[in-house]
Structure 1
Amino acid sequence: MRALVVVGLLAVVALVFVVVALVRDTQGEAGLAGGCPEGAPLADVKLRERKDVKINVLNSTDRPGLASQVADEFSNRQFQVKKTANEKKQIDDVAVLRYGPKGVGSAHLLRAYFLNNAKDGYDAKRKDDTVDVVLGNSFQQLATTTEVNQALGDLGAPVAPPGSCPMPIDK
């Protein structure tokens, strides 16, 4: 009989402990946009699969046909290539990734294809989820699958750019 009283008492103490922990939980809104400045854009920080990433490939070099060549490589890797074009202004970087709040997770994945050497071109006012991949004069080639996986490990999880807030995970 004493054993049942002790077990019952332990169960009541455990129940009280759980209720107190749930009531005092300060992380209930973790990962949500709570606490963000009013009007801050919600950044989609979900790491996208290749088949879900929409890109435009732009050639900002003097090498003719580079955008089409790289677009074919991205298509072969299951990316959705929307358009290719030439930029008038040349850049010396490896690449510039231009994207808006809806393209944060996609740009994070693409950054790995340039071994984290692509320059960031975040634009808070951009409304679509397409990423512009602007190829520069320092571009040599896209990373291999193994190199991409290693680069993703080095990069960690996508982070909301300054001035934006992470979108709730379930959206």
Structure 2
Amino acid sequence: MRALIVLSVLTVAAIVFVAVAFVRDSQTEATVAEECPAGFIRANVALPEPKDVKLKVFNAAGTDGLGARVSTDFGNRKFQVEKAENSDKTSDAVATLRYGPKTVGAAHLLRAYFLDNARTEYDEARDDDVVDVVIGTRFEQLATTTEVNQSLVELGQAKLPPGTCAA
């Protein structure tokens, strides 16, 4: 019997507490995302899952088959990969990531696969949802899952490019 009395008192106290919280709530309006200033472009900085990232690999290393190999590696990691192509120019970088406003978060994720050794080229005029991955002569291999996770921690949140606001 004592247990029922204690349980009843606790139930009534919880109901009173919730009622007081609703009555005294001072938040009268829902918070709204900031407006994008005039002339700014909305950019998607959300970090996507690999299965939601579309990319196209370009071989700028001059090594036969490297683009196809990297494309296969990304495909095995669940990325949506378009057919690899050879680049007209060679690059002395590990990799270069070319992207637009729709893929800022995706490019940030891909930076981790190159342990933040990839160059980035943001193009505000680009309207597609594909990140171009240009493999250069200094490329050795993609990072492991553990290395990617550690790199993402070190990179922190994706930064908005100049002239953009969060979508």
**Bin of the TM-score, shorter chain as denominator length:** 0.7 to 0.9
- CA–CA separation in structure 1 for the residues paired with 2:61 and 2:97: 15
Displacement after TM superposition at 1:78 (Å): 0.6
Q: Secondary structure at the match of 2:84?
A: strand
Structure 1 or 2, whichever has the larger Rg, is 2
Unaligned runs of 5+ in 1: 1-7
Q: 1:28 aligns with which of 23, 26, 31?
A: 31
TM-score with structure 2 length normalisation? 0.82
Residue 150 (structure 1) shift: 0.2
C-alpha deviation, 1:33, in angstroms:
4.3
Partner of 2:162: 162
Structure 2, unpaired ranges of 5+? 1-15
Shift of residue 90 of structure 1?
1.0
Contact 2:39 2:163 in 1 (8 A): no
Give me the whole-angstrom Cα distance separating, in 1, the residues matched to 2:40 and 2:81.
29
Q: Which moved more, 1:107-116 or 1:155-164?
A: 155-164
**Displacement of 1:88 after TM fit?**
1.0
**Partner secondary structure for residue 157 of structure 1:** coil
Aligned-partner residue type, residue 42 of structure 1: R
Matches of 1:88 and 1:72, distance apart in 2: 21
Shift of 1:91: 1.1
Count of aligned pairs between the two proteins: 150
- Identity, in percent, stands at 52
Structure 1 vs Structure 2 CA RMSD: 2.1
Task: Name the CA distance, whole Å, in 2 between partners of 1:89 and 1:33.
Answer: 42
Cα deviation digits, residues 68-115 of structure 1 (max 9, x gap): 000000011110001210111111111110010001111111110000
Contact 2:61 2:135 in 1 (8 A): yes
Q: Does 1:47 align with 2:47?
A: yes
CA shift, 1:37, in A, is 2.7
> 2:57 matched to 1:83?
no
**Which stretch shows the higher mean deviation, 125-134 or 37-46?**
37-46
Give distance in 1, aligned partners of 2:83 and 2:101.
20
Q: CA deviation at 1:120?
A: 0.8
CA distance in 2, matches of 1:67, 1:88: 13
Hey, what does 2:131 align to over in structure 1?
A: 131
1:95 alignment partner AA: A
- Once residues 84 and 140 of structure 2 are traced to their aligned partners in structure 1, the CA distance between those partners, rounded to angstroms, is 18
Aligned-partner SS, 2:90 = coil
Counterpart position of 2:121: 121
Aligned to 1:109: 109
Query: In 2, are the aligned partners of 1:46 and 1:105 still within 8 Å (CA)?
Result: yes
